[in-house]
Amino acid sequence: MKDKNTTKKQRIHPRTDTSKHIVSPPAGRKQKQETLPCRKPVLHLSPATNAINRELSMRLSDVFDGLKRISTGDPTVRIDETSDIEMIAQLKHLVNVTGQNIGEIVDQSHEFAMGLAEHFDVLHRVSQGDLSARVSGNSDVELLESLKNVTNETIGSISKEINERKEAEESLRKLEELESSLLSAIPHAVIGLQERTIVFANKAIRHVFGWEPTELIGGKTRLLYRTDDEYEQIGRHFYPALEQKLTHSEEFPCRHRNGRDILCKVHAAVIGKQLKGKGIVVIYEDITERKQAE
């Protein structure tokens, strides 16, 4: 115990005499001076930081409750945006903006697909340890612009607090939950593909195609089309187009789980800046009734 205390004092006062720690070798051997290794100082969170963490935990529940109401079909939800923590205030504002503009998002599925693709790419890079990743570009959709600002600010906060690993991981988890809640609020089917294998799907896939997300993840998109030929055909249409530009959309016949044929407006966007590993985000908008009315 005395040696450890002595080492700690030596670390705080570099000029302290360390001769006490010289080990005397047996007679006949050369003397070798050894010193005990220095420990790194333990970082303690201040009471103010602990208070902020508690405030984050309490106030984020309001944000998630609001998003949950929106995802269940109540876009009229509004929550109080006041908060002493700027990030919480921005998240609350984002919930209110989501409720106001959910109809606009539906009409702008193409642009939203591009925005989601970029956000998933940034989150993937962050999960791999690249805390320099940021969402870039500008959008006329206020929700995407707000989401970009919140995402970038959250990543910046994580970067500053990287020495507090648990807090950083918790912040990233909450950001992913926010992304998941936004996906749930979209009324169209949204899936992520890697080599035409489904890696994620939102809850609206149940409404559009009759499948549960868990039933599709890990499988091929063949289940969404009427025949093998049409499955191959849409691949021939979309992937060459996405190699030339980052987005592509067209109308394409699909099939519901119950065997009913449906017509979908299919919007696709490349994840990242190039079509690597055929990673894309696809939105399926069921336009069957609209076309029948026309």
Tens of pLDDT along the chain (294 residues)? Answer: 445 454 444 454 445 444 444 455 555 555 555 555 555 555 555 666 666 666 666 667 777 777 777 666 666 777 777 777 777 777 778 777 776 666 555 556 667 777 777 877 887 887 787 878 888 877 776 777 787 888 888 888 777 766 567 666 776 777 777 677 777 768 899 999 998 999 989 989 999 999 999 999 999 999 999 999 999 999 999 999 999 888 999 999 999 999 999 999 999 999 888 877 778 999 999 999 988 887
Q: Which long-range contacts (CB under 8 A, 24 or more apart) does 155-164 make?
A: 155/122, 155/126, 155/131, 157/87, 158/126, 158/131, 159/131, 159/132, 162/131, 163/43, 164/43, 164/45
Q: Which domains are present in the chain?
A: 60-185 (no CATH), 189-293 (3.30.450.20)
Beta bridge partners of 189: 284
Tokens encoding 105: 């998002």
Task: Report d(CA 229, CA 236) in Å as an integer.
Answer: 11
Q: What is the CA radius of gyration of the chain?
A: 27
Within 10 A of 198 (CB to CB), how many other CB atoms are there?
22
Task: Report d(CA 253, CA 261) in Å as an integer.
Answer: 7
Tally the C-alpha atoms within 13 A of residue 27's C-alpha that lie toward its C-beta: 0
